[in-house]
Structure 1
Amino acid sequence: MTDKEKDYNVADIMELIKISNEFIERNRKVYKRLAAGIPTQEILDALIPELISLYGNYVMQIVQYKTSLSRITLAILTSSDYSADVHTPIYRQRQDIAEKYNDLYGADTLIIVEYRYEPVRNSKVHSSVTDMIRKGNVIWEKEEDDK
């Protein structure tokens, strides 16, 4: 291999690295734009009725709160009679719902957690989770007559 051929091969590798870095940067910008364009309200409009239907009389409130883990984080606040027997069949369906939206809009689009309603309602109870949920927005609440 002559010196000229070696220079040519090195130039090709350098060019490939440059092109590769340009693609990486371009894709990073595209993903940021896509993430910024997630239709949060449309997702919530479709999601809330699904969750209410799934949880039935066990859901007291649905709260949207901020975390760094996802763009939409929801807490399903459940009644005191929500037991492990009830939780088991609901859990998988709830995970399927979250996966559906995460598959459509990206892996960190939606997280849905369950939490008991009473500790959140009781202002004397303090934990990182209850405090975060209290700072969130109640986006659905069971009618007072139904509580």
Structure 2
Amino acid sequence: MPEIRPRSTIVVTLLCIAGLAVAGVALAYCVHLGAQRDDDTGQSAAEFTYIPPNQAGLAADDVTPESDEVPEQLDTVRSKIMLCTIDKIGTDVLSVHTPDGRKHQLTLSPDTHVESAKGNEVADLTTGDLVVVRVIESDTATTVDLIVDGRVSSSIPDN
């Protein structure tokens, strides 16, 4: 005698597949509605407009001085955060290595800010310290903006 599958499992499977299809169509429709704009700018909802800091909060009919016009090409640089260990501290160069073994020569500037339990100067750091470094990368150099000592310090209760 051939094995007969219960009808309930087949029906439940078909209902689940139909439910997933309906949910997918509904999600696609919601995404489509979210991407449309009601204004006639022709700009996608995902695009943004650059507003200079001194123009934020101005009404649309306010006059913008020529000096505040949006530049054609914004001169931007890239920044990144690195977890690294200090190998050597020079007067204007910080030599570090990352956990994957890569070595970096980072340029120190007079504006480099240090956050450490030992002090707020680059001279307060020592070789072997674990630090988090925020660097600003430009075409010519990688400059350190912020150095945070990796040690976490906290007070002891009843102390």
TM-score, normalised relative to structure 2: 0.28
**Structure with more contact order per residue of length (Cα contacts < 8 Å, sep ≥ 6):** 1
| Structure with the larger helix share | 1
Q: Which protein is bigger by CA-based radius of gyration? A: 2
Higher strand share: 2
